Structure 1
C-alpha cells in the first residue's frame, strides 16, 4: 500500500524511499501504539491463555468502529440541526449508508469471537472482573446520540453515573450526549417540516383521511355482502379493529396517549410527514427522504441484530444463569435489551400499518408537483420570477380531488 502522505509526486513505483521527506505508513497510523495495546492479563499471571489475545483484538476493533460511527453520526446530526437544504440530503445518505455498512461488519464480527469455545473463555474470564461491556463509553454515547431515552432502558445500571462516576471526563461526555439533540429528535423536527402537510396548501392529511374512509367503507360493504354469517362477522370485526388503528393516528389525543406510554416516539406532525414520504416515495421530492427513513430503520435493525448475536454468544459462553463480569444478570439482562424499547425509530417500522393500496393514494396534480419541486428548505413555496413566462400557471394548491 502506498503511503498516503508521501510528498513526492513523480516517483515511480519501486524507487527507494531513503531520500523522501514525510511520514512512513506505520508513523502515520501510529502502529507502534495500536499494535502494542494488547495486554494479556493471563500472561501477567504466568498462565498465558491463547484466546485472550483474540478477545482483546475483537473488542478493540469494536471500539474503533464505534468511534467511526460516532464521527459519522455527529456530522449527520450537525447537518440536521439546521433547516435542511435539499442539496444536503445526498451527503446524509452517504454517511448513514456508511454507518449501516460498518454495523453489518460488527454484526458479522461476533462470529469470529465464537471460534473461541466456552472452556477457552473460562481460562481467562476471571481476570476480566469487574470489567464489562456495559462500561463501553462509546457505545453509551452512540445510544444517546441516536436517541435511546433513559426511561426506556432496563433497570440494571440505568444511571450511568454509577458506571462512570470515577471518571469525570467520561461522565461529562455522557451527560453532554444526553443534553444535546439526538438524531431521533432532529429527524422528528425535519419530518414536521415535510412539504404538503399544510392545511391551506396541499392538505395531504385531509386527503389521506378521505382516502382511508373510502377504503374502509368499500371493504365494509364487501364484508356485509358475505353470505356466511360467521365469516361476515369475522370480517366486520377485523375491519372495526383496522378502523381503530387508523383512528390512533387521526385523533391527536389517542396519539398523545400512546406517546406517553412509550408506544410511539414521533410527534403527531412528524408521523404525518413520515406517512406522506412513504406513500409518495416515487415522487422526486420524496425519493431521498424515503431513502433516509429506510437507512434509519437499517441502523435500528442492525443494532438489534448485533445485540441478538451478542446475547446468543453470551448464552453459549456462560449459559443462562451466571452473572456477568460487571455484576449484571448476564444473559437475562442482555436478552431484555432486545425489546422495542431500545428501537429509536420504532415509529418508522410501524408505518406499514397505515399504508393504503396504491389505487387509493390521492394523486398529485401537475400544479402540486411543480410546487413540490420549487420547495426550498421546508419554509414554503418559492416561485421563480420567470415561472409565469415559462407557462407554469399556479392556479390550485393541492392534490387532485379524484381518488381512483
Structure 2
C-alpha cells in the first residue's frame, strides 16, 4: 500500500515544480477529506449576522469529542471480537491490552479538553447558548453507544437518561443502533466470561476458591484470638468489632446468595464466578500467565476512572457556566442531572475497584501446586475452554 503522503514535495523538487508520486498517492488534504472536516463548523450566530467568537471553539471541541468517541467505539468493537472466543491466547491478550490502554489514553485526552472550554467565560457562553436549544449532549448517539458497549446497563441509568426514545425518537436508525448495543454482549459481559474461565478455579483441580476461603477464615480466627487476649477493653472491643465486620464482608463473596443479592441491588456487577477469577488473578499476578490478565484488569479500571473524571470535570464546567438551577438545553435539570451520573451505578468495572477489600497477606495466599505452577508457566492460554 502506498503512503498517503508520498506525493509531498521536498525542497529541491518543489523548486523544480515537480510533485512526487502523483500516480500512486493522494494529497494530504484529500486523504483526510479536509474539505469536509474543516468546513463543518456552522456558527448559528453568524447566520443572523451576529457572530459570537466563542461559538467556534464550542463547535470545534465537541466535534473533536465525537471523532474521539468514534475511535473509542472502533477500539471497543475490536476488543469485543478478541474476547468473544472460547480461549484467549497470549498474543490476543497483548493486543487487547494495547487497545485498552489506547482507549484509556484517549479518555484522558478528553478530560484535558475541558480546560480549553473553560477559557470561555459564562457570559461568553450566554451569548450563543440560546442557539443550542434544543440541542443537547443527550443527543450524542456515539456517547450512548460507547457507554452501552462498555457495559453501562439501562436499569442503572438515572431516570432521565433512560428515555432515549424521547431523544432519538425521530431517528429510527439511531434507536436501532442503541437497541443493538444494549442487546449485544458488552465488553463487561465478555470480560466476565473470560474471568469465569480462569485456570485454577476448577473444583476438581486446584480449586482456588475453597483454599482461599479456608485461609481467609483461618486468618480471621487467629486475629480474633489475638484480639480476645488483649487486656485493654477498649482496644479489645475495637479489634473484635473489626474482625466481625471483615467476616461479614467476606461472607458476601463466599456466599453466592449474598453476592447475587448485591448484584440485584446494583452494588456489584460481576457474576459470582467472574469475581473469583478476578481475585485469583490479582493474588497471583506475579505468575507469568497472569501478568497480562492483571494488566488488562488495571486498564479496565483506568477506563472507568477516566470516564468518571470526565463526568466530574463536565459537571463542574456546567455548574461554572450555567449554575446549578438552570435547565440544560435539552430539557434536563442540567447540573443536578449531571451530578447524579457521578455515582457508582455508572462504573462498569466497579468490582475491580473493590478487589483490594478481599486481599490477604502474602503468607496466607494458597500456595500453588506443582501442576498449577507448570500450567501458569507453560500454558499458552490465559483461559481454558468453556465447558
TM range (shorter): over 0.9
1:152 aligns with 2:150: no
Among candidates 39, 44, 48, match of residue 47 of structure 2: 44
Runs of 4+ with >6 A deviation: none
Judge conservation of contact 2:7–2:27 (CA < 8 Å) in 1.
no
Among candidates 301, 305, 310, match of residue 301 of structure 1: 305
Rounded Cα–Cα distance in structure 1 between residues aligned with 2:12 and 2:331: 56
Judge conservation of contact 2:151–2:189 (CA < 8 Å) in 1.
yes
Deviation at 1:168, TM superposition (A): 1.4
Structure 1 counterpart SS, 2:372: helix
Which residue in 1 is equivalent to 2:249?
A: 245
Among candidates 12, 15, 35, match of residue 13 of structure 2: 15
Rounded Cα–Cα distance in structure 2 between residues aligned with 1:37 and 1:302: 28
Rounded Cα–Cα distance in structure 1 between residues aligned with 2:12 and 2:116: 36
Which residue in 2 is equivalent to 1:62?
A: 65
Deviation at 1:365, TM superposition (A): 3.3
Cα deviations across residues 164-193 of structure 1 (Å, max 9, x unaligned)? 110111111111111110000000000000
**What is the 5 A alignment of 1:323-334?**
323-334=327-338
Cα deviations across residues 289-330 of structure 1 (Å, max 9, x unaligned)? 000000000000100000000000000000000000000000
Structure 2 counterpart SS, 1:156: helix
Structure 1 residue runs without a partner (length 5+): 381-404
Indicate the larger mover: 223-232 or 294-303.
Answer: 223-232
**What is the 5 A alignment of 1:132-151?**
132-151=136-155
Structure 2 residue runs without a partner (length 5+): none
TM-score (norm 2): 0.94
Rounded Cα–Cα distance in structure 2 between residues aligned with 1:114 and 1:275: 41
Deviation at 1:213, TM superposition (A): 1.1
Judge conservation of contact 2:7–2:26 (CA < 8 Å) in 1.
no
Among candidates 64, 73, 78, match of residue 75 of structure 1: 78
Indicate the larger mover: 281-290 or 364-373.
Answer: 364-373
Rounded Cα–Cα distance in structure 2 between residues aligned with 1:293 and 1:147: 15
CA RMSD of aligned residues (A): 1.7
Rounded Cα–Cα distance in structure 2 between residues aligned with 1:157 and 1:218: 49
**What is the 5 A alignment of 1:226-241?**
226-241=230-245
Among candidates 208, 213, 216, match of residue 209 of structure 1: 213
Rounded Cα–Cα distance in structure 1 between residues aligned with 2:6 and 2:277: 50
Structure 2 counterpart SS, 1:177: helix
Cα deviations across residues 108-139 of structure 1 (Å, max 9, x unaligned)? 11000000000000000000000001110000
Which residue in 2 is equivalent to 1:335?
A: 339
Q: Which has the higher contact order (CA 8 A, sep 6+)?
A: 2
Deviation at 1:7, TM superposition (A): 5.5
Judge conservation of contact 2:111–2:306 (CA < 8 Å) in 1.
yes
Which residue in 2 is equivalent to 1:123?
A: 127
Judge conservation of contact 1:90–1:288 (CA < 8 Å) in 2.
yes
Judge conservation of contact 2:13–2:19 (CA < 8 Å) in 1.
no
Judge conservation of contact 2:301–2:349 (CA < 8 Å) in 1.
yes
- Greater helix share, structure number: 2
Rounded Cα–Cα distance in structure 1 between residues aligned with 2:104 and 2:12: 38
Rounded Cα–Cα distance in structure 1 between residues aligned with 2:6 and 2:317: 47
Structure 1 counterpart SS, 2:159: coil
Among candidates 373, 378, 384, match of residue 379 of structure 1: 384
**What is the 5 A alignment of 1:244-283?**
244-283=248-287
Structure 1 counterpart SS, 2:354: helix
Judge conservation of contact 2:290–2:376 (CA < 8 Å) in 1.
no
Deviation at 1:374, TM superposition (A): 3.9
Deviation at 1:224, TM superposition (A): 0.8
Rounded Cα–Cα distance in structure 1 between residues aligned with 2:223 and 2:286: 27
